[in-house]
Amino acid sequence: MKIIKIILLGSLFVLIILIAIRTVQGEPKTSLKAGEELYVWYCIPCHGLAGDGKGFNAKNLDPRPANHTDGGFMKKRTDKELLDAVSGGGKAVGKSTLMPPWGNTFTETQMKSLVLYLRKLCRCVGE
């Protein structure tokens, strides 16, 4: 009987520690890795795995999806503008509504992670 009590108390203790760690860590941080994972899952049908705008669905779209590897094009957007385009879709930045809004799908942190990944794809910074 004593051993069961020890096991139960032990598990309770571990649980409390885990909850405490989770609370201290809070919201997960913006990360390039998270951005890449989201991009590969949600953006490549249109923008392509390489980010060059040649996803398998691209040929059905007019205008064609943006080429995120095009530094000349991407550097003309600030991080804020990219975030607005991801959050509110093409419409939010005066572009085509074929670019969907993601603001109700992702958290702010996830969208900032996507912007980090966009900057990796274009190897550029906003001017």
Which bin fits 22, alpha (ψ -120 to 50), beta or left (φ > 0)? alpha
Give the distance, in angstroms, between the CA of residue 70 and the centroid of all CA atoms in the same chain: 19
Nearer to ligand HEC, 37 or 93 (CB): 93
Applying CB under 6 A, among 31, 91, 93, 103 the residue interacting with ligand HEC is 93
How far is CA 117 from each of CA 10, 20, 63, 92, rounded to the nearest angstrom?
A: 42, 31, 23, 20
Residue 92 binds ligand HEC, judged by CB under 6 A: no
Sort residue 64 into left (φ over 0), alpha (ψ -120 to 50) or beta: beta
Q: Which of residues 13-72 bind ligand HEC (CB under 6 A)?
A: 42-43, 45-47, 57, 61, 63, 65-66
How many residues lie near ligand HEC (CB under 6 A)? 25
Contact footprint for ligand HEC (CB under 6 A): 42-43, 45-47, 57, 61, 63, 65-66, 77, 81-82, 85-86, 90, 93, 95-96, 98-100, 102, 114, 118
